[in-house]
Amino acid sequence: MVDGDIASGRVHAPVTGQAKNVFQHRWDNYKRVCLFTNISTTTTGIVDLFYAEKFRLATKITPKAGSTTLIAIFHMLNERTNEHVFNKSRMQMHEYSKNAIIKKKFKLDELGDIVFLLPTRNPYSRLYSAFVDKVYLADDVELAEAVTKHAGNHRNIPQWWKSNVSFQNFLDYTLDDSLTKHVQIDHYGKIFTPKYCLLDNPVLIIKQESFSVDIEYALKKVNVKNKILDVIRDVLTSSRAATTVSGVVKTELQKLKFYFRTRKVFKAVERRLDALQFIFKRLWSSFQIQGIINAHSVFPDTKFSSQRSVDAVDDILDIFLSEIKEHPLTSSERTEQRDKAMLDAYRRIDPRTIKKIQIKHINDFLAFEYDPALQL
């Protein structure tokens, strides 16, 4: 496997001299999987891509595979904004993604010399990330409620901020092919797409597990340099944790404020304070799962209990950022903590469910060279 032990999240980032061969190998492997894929004659070759015309660079946006960062990068490349774009909430960033200025429809056979990025991620970590982000953090109420109903609790759906939907419940929902609709399926569905088999030009497959290295190689390939490259490199490396925390916290508070305004259950002040403290705890736990906050750091009840307003964004954010600064994790510690959290979660999953994941996402495992065997 070119990128090392991908299943655990550990990778060996390619050095500059090897990078071209690594990307060529990834694309060659993708094309080999295409040989065993039934590509219908009706398969359309038209795609919606983010595009930076000045650099002849385009990308597919794959949710839960660096999508927020890529949206920000393409805004910078199109000179639509400055480095402060990386401090926006994820909600604001994805609103930007609707901006037609940086999106363009392409016929795949007309891409020519445009460098095309195809982001991907290990199906196991992507599924777990989608659960933590969208359900555990209650980032998507519709999805949390759909999973709850699917689990057989449709007569007693708890208040969304106290939902106890499990990872097993979430996986059962995503793997149920009898459903006519899956809420937010683009965040956990298959990534491998037969239409890209129609491409003749090599594609740069960007892996979440080596995202910083892969993106820097792609940017240098299209001659992005000087301040733009420096800003993006900094966001991808030294300030990545702070950028992630800032975007997530701002998004959760924005959504909570919306629910306070639109849901009758939040008319009572006590309910609002209860929900606010619950979200603080879930955010803290989610950052530990992601390897951003030390797993041994105890939730600071006293600091958060004094925060009684959803509008005190800077004060709330400062508590999280101060913890990261005071108890920093090394790169290897972050990786080890993330690996442990994910594998612990999968150890509680029914083995038959693991098998279903392997079957449903087989093309992703094969096309992007991820090991379908979980080392539990």
Task: Give tens-digit pLDDT for 81-97.
Answer: 566 667 666 666 666 66
Structural domain for 302, as ranges: 243-328
Lowest mean pLDDT among 34-48, 66-80, 101-115, 118-132: 34-48
Q: Which residues contact 360 (CB under 8 A, 6 or more apart)?
A: 175, 177, 190
Tell whether 235 and 249 lie within a shared domain: no
Task: Give tens-digit pLDDT for 280-309.
Answer: 999 999 999 999 999 999 999 999 999 999
Tell whether 281 and 250 lie within a shared domain: yes
Tell whether 14 and 110 lie within a shared domain: yes
Q: Which two tokens stand for residue 251?
A: 């998004």
Task: Give tens-digit pLDDT for 177-229.
Answer: 999 999 999 999 999 988 888 887 779 999 999 999 999 999 999 999 888 89
pLDDT computed for residue 255 by the predictor: 86
**Local structure of 60: helix, strand or coil:** coil
Look at the chain and report how many structural domains it folds into: 2
pLDDT computed for residue 262 by the predictor: 86
Q: Choose the final residue of a domain: 239, 270, 304.
A: 239
* Amino acid at position 142, single letter: E
Q: Which residues contact 8 (CB under 8 A, 6 or more apart)?
A: 339, 343, 375
Residue of 94, 110, 99 whose CA lies nearest to 47: 110
Lowest mean pLDDT among 9-13, 26-30, 361-365: 9-13
Tell whether 287 and 202 lie within a shared domain: no
Tell whether 225 and 252 lie within a shared domain: no
Task: Give tens-digit pLDDT for 107-138.
Answer: 887 888 899 999 999 999 999 999 999 999 87
Tell whether 261 and 234 lie within a shared domain: no
Tell whether 107 and 255 lie within a shared domain: no
How confident is the prediction for the chain on average, in pLDDT? 86
| 11 in a structural domain | yes
Tell whether 234 and 89 lie within a shared domain: yes
Q: Which two tokens stand for residue 47?
A: 């795609």
Query: Average pLDDT, stretch 227-245?
Result: 86
| 366 in a structural domain | no
Distance (Å, whole) CA 337 – CA 294:
8
Asked whether residue 4 carries a pLDDT value surpassing 90, the answer given is: no
3-class SS string, 32-45: HHHCCCCCCCCCCC
| 352 in a structural domain | no
Task: Give tens-digit pLDDT for 131-154.
Answer: 999 999 878 888 988 998 898 865
Top-confidence residue, 226 or 17: 226
Distance (Å, whole) CA 44 – CA 196:
10
Asked whether residue 69 carries a pLDDT value surpassing 50, the answer given is: yes
Strand order in the sheet with 103-107: 103-107, 46-52, 57-59, 115-120, 204-207
Q: Is the pTM of this model over 0.75?
A: yes
Tell whether 203 and 286 lie within a shared domain: no
Q: Give the C-alpha distances (Å, rounded to integers) separating 333 from 10, 70, 74, 307, 339.
A: 12, 25, 31, 30, 10
Q: Choose the final residue of a domain: 286, 310, 328.
A: 328
